Amino acid sequence: MIPQTDPKAGYLAQRAEIDAAIQRVLDGGRYILGEEVAAFEREFAAFADARHGIAVASGTDALILALRALDIGPGDCVITVSHTAVATVAAIELTGAQALLLDVDASYGLDPAQLEATLNAWPATAARPKAIIPVHLYGQAADMPAIAAIAEKHGLAILEDGSQAHGARLNGIGIGHWGKLSAYSLYPTKNLGAIGDGGIITTDDAALDARLRELREYGWRERYVSAISGMNSRLDPLQAAILRVKLTRLQVDTDRRRAIAARYDAGLADVKAISLPRTRPGAMPVYHQYVIETENREALRTKLSERGVSTLVHYPVPVHLQPAYLGRVPLGVGGLKRTEAAALRVISLPMFPQLSDAQVDQVIAAVRASV
């Protein structure tokens, strides 16, 4: 069976270097923060063309802390999408703020037209939204030029969720540079994934960098003395050491993901029963997932499984329709028609850098034989 994703393959590809990095940390005796974490922060920030990187315990914590650094809290409203990992919305609520969910466009990014319509229709007597979290889903960049222009017009702070898009670019600009902060997950299946959990925030703002370092460690400015109310969210040095190794070949892995996507594109272009990923003009995706759409999803998944191809659905239930959020999270003007349609149609084909061309061709043949 060809797996849909395989984080162990990433470890095996760099096993000797990762094992040596782990041993270095064990021998060093510093098991919380320290130079290993600081080095990863510098190296990831350099990769992301950012001045500062702040490593934390998870991608969810990265979003929570970034929101708190922007002074988001109880009574505030934060706009994002419903077609996303639930962590995006959970993070907003964990600050005490209220999420407002919008629809997606054809590339699964936040729909700028609905954003503008929703803000223009906002009641004059109601508190205005304070921030927006565009999600760069599946490794595709959201329409940031349009979103950023609307955010500036309406006074919204931008926090980019780059958890599935490490290194993606739009119009020559890397994600994370359209707003004040960008949050990334380092979950094992991500393009840059730990062997465990982790997250990182990037910013060019020195004041936000300092505030985030306080917030992630109890609000300390000096040890054991909390200057502000913070939390405990620290990436551990073992994960930092692993991530430093994996970061050295992230661009190589990204190039391989793009080559796999191009092979899928060529092999499936004439299959009328499915829709292939739509890349925004000027975008350079990093293909965290290769997502197709079809009307008969479960039948196709069953046939692919019978032919030795594993698939996943990201995501089968939009956040606003999940039991925890149903009926209590406000939606954008006009509803979430694209989101709800996509949730019934999307399928993620196998996508990870260690897939061979022969395996990709097997997937292509299986899809063609199954629709």
For residue 229, tell me if it sits in a domain. yes
Q: Give the separation between CA 163 and CA 186, rounded to whole angstroms.
A: 7
126: pLDDT strictly greater than 90: no
Tell me the CATH number at 260.
3.90.1150.10
Looking at the fold, whether 136 and 272 belong to one and the same domain comes out as no
The confidence band for 125, taking pLDDT boundaries of 50, 70 and 90, is confident
Buried b (16+ CB within 10 A) or exposed e, 105-131: bebbbbbbbbbbebbeeeeeeeeebbb
Q: Give the separation between CA 281 and CA 288, rounded to whole angstroms.
A: 18
pTM more than 0.85: yes
For residue 54, tell me if it sits in a domain. yes
- Residues paired with 26 in a beta bridge: none
Please say which residue of 229, 247, 265 terminates a domain: 247
Tell me the CATH number at 120.
3.40.640.10
335: pLDDT strictly greater than 90: yes
Backbone angles phi, psi at 313, to 5 degrees: -120, 115
pLDDT at position 129: 97
Domain count, the chain: 2
pLDDT, tens only, 262-295: 999 999 999 999 999 999 999 999 999 999 999 9
Q: Give the separation between CA 10 and CA 310, rounded to whole angstroms.
A: 18
The confidence band for 74, taking pLDDT boundaries of 50, 70 and 90, is very high
Range of the domain at 254: 250-370
For residue 1, tell me if it sits in a domain. no
pLDDT at position 69: 98
> Among 120-129, 132-141, 193-202, 317-326, where is mean pLDDT lowest?
120-129
pLDDT at position 124: 86
Looking at the fold, whether 95 and 171 belong to one and the same domain comes out as yes
